[in-house]
Amino acid sequence: MNPPSASSTDVLLIGSGAAGLSCALRLAQAGIAVTLVSKGALSSGSTLWAQGGISAVLDAGDSVESHVHDTLVAGAGLCDERAVRHAVERGPDCVRWLIGQGVEFTRDEDDPVGNGLHLTREGGHSHRRVVHAADATGRAVETTLSGLAATHPRIRVLEDRLAVDLIVDRAANRVVGAYLLDVHHGGVQALAARAVVLATGGANQVYLYSSNPHGASGDGIAMAWRAGCRIANMEFMQFHPTCLYHPEARNFLISEALRGEGAVLRLPDGDGRPGERFMPRFDERGELAPRDVVARAIDYEMKRLGLKHVLLDITHKPAEFIRSHFPSIHARCLELGIDITREPIPVVPSAHFTCGGVLTDLAARTDVDGLYAIGEVACTGLHGANRLASNSLLECLVFAEAAANDLIETLPGRPPPGPLAAWDESRVRDSDEDVVVAHNWLELRTFMWDYVGIVRTTKRLERALHRIELLKQEIQDYYGNYRISADLIELRNLVTVADLIVRSAMSRRESRGLHYTLDYPNLLPEARPTVLPGRG
């Protein structure tokens, strides 16, 4: 097929994390022309910050059944077992594919398990099955794949472009392209495509405190919902228990792998030194309990005692072990004046992962013909009500491959990209009140943190929904009358996903997995997904 042109392409792939990059490379290696759109620099996706690793059955003592079981348990009864098996069975091959692309994982040549790969264990896993590149797996994956994508002749990379909306042929219920905003220079381009793949990541910037980079603003979820796709399980927002508490590093994650290697959570004593270990009071698995359990325990202790943070302590391990296993975390903390070999790390929970998203099948297809969703933007059924640690990169890789395989098979039968209507700016003007966007952004993220966070109530959700309705009206008026900017588009998308999160949470009258409400603390007898119909 022909290389992508300025105004059209075979496949438009929006997002440059592990999901987008691996899908683009698989398509390009099969001879398909791809235009890969990145909101910022090519290697700036959330994958870059993933510290943990990729869960895969690589140890002879491990099994597919064990990995499936651990995932189902973490998902609190809401996983789709077909999707879980689909992902788990394909995990080892995806890891081998990454190795074939040049990703260098941490090796353990003295240990035969994992074919010479060093495997670690994280919360919720019953075996060591997390393949990693020290404590910076995402960086190893992202930099390797982005380097390959940047030089592949079948991949055209558009950096610093923000997708504004999908372009859909409503009569045929088929996606035909997307509008893209040039982030730095303004102007909106209509790009036609035979198929579109959303790999835009999650929506965790809807909260005031997040471990994610700035761009995790729910763009793909909001665009897919406006295009008519069903959105599922948005009430299940995962809060990572241990984000560094420091004024100069508000989104620096302290990997779950520390707890996997023996780090314990303690309350600070009166002098700020490590005191009581508290997790055994909440769960017999202690620090290796699922993330929702650990995050709620920390949240409870902080509120009970009026703490700003708790402490994560790994000082009982040898200093060389800590430096060799967690070089990035050790170096970053040392820059901030914290020597984790000698003192505990101050940590707080933060919004980390969107378990719900655009509803897809096992081939990553959505409700709109020609539109695919892969990675954190999608709800595949793998995560259920809570994500098992290191299943996120697994999902990115497995469903990127699934989408690529389906496109390789079906693309020849799809109509070629046709001309699209240009973006109309004839009736808008430049804004002289950008402060409105900044104020609304802060207001949204603050009340979402206060009312729709780790612990919820019906009254809090109602208050959040009331404020969302006011913001939606204000933002839509702004969107219709002024030239758009990247901040406005992200705010518009964040308000949309906030609305989806709150409406989903209000419809679930139980506490399950990541959704915990004081008004309905018990489980219902049957686990059912929350599915919202698309607006289109």
Alpha-carbon distance of 149 to 135, in angstroms, equals: 24
Alpha-carbon distance of 300 to 205, in angstroms, equals: 23
Q: Residue 422 contacts by C-beta under 8 Å, 6 or more apart in sequence?
A: 190
| Strand-strand pairing, 174-182 and 161-169 | antiparallel
Chain centroid to CA 87: 17
Q: Residue 417 contacts by C-beta under 8 Å, 6 or more apart in sequence?
A: 8, 9, 10, 176, 177, 192, 193, 194
**3-class secondary structure, 55:** strand
Alpha-carbon distance of 73 to 87, in angstroms, equals: 16
Chain centroid to CA 466: 27
Alpha-carbon distance of 495 to 489, in angstroms, equals: 10
Can you name the residues that pair with 9 across neighbouring β-strands? 193
Chain centroid to CA 165: 20
Question: What does the block give as tokens for 152?
Answer: 């592949």
Can you name the residues that pair with 429 across neighbouring β-strands? 482
Alpha-carbon distance of 338 to 344, in angstroms, equals: 8
**Tokens 């049957």 identify what position?**
526
Dihedral Cα 21, 25, 26, 31, nearest 10 deg: 140
DSSP string, 380-395: -SSSTTSPPTTHHHHH
Q: Which DSSP letter does residue 324 get?
A: H
User: Would residue 509 show up in a list of annotated catalytic residues for this protein?
Assistant: no
Per the residue annotation, which of 291, 296, 332, 512 is the catalytic one?
291
Q: How many residues does the chain have?
A: 536
Alpha-carbon distance of 110 to 116, in angstroms, equals: 8
Side-chain-side CA neighbours of 38 within 13 Å: the count stands at 24
List the one residue out of 58, 76, 60 whose CA is nearest residue 124: 76
Region label for 375, one of left (φ > 0), alpha (ψ between -120 and 50) or beta (otherwise): left
Alpha-carbon distance of 22 to 154, in angstroms, equals: 14
Can you name the residues that pair with 190 across neighbouring β-strands? 179
Q: Which DSSP letter does residue 344 get?
A: P
Catalytic residue annotation = 291
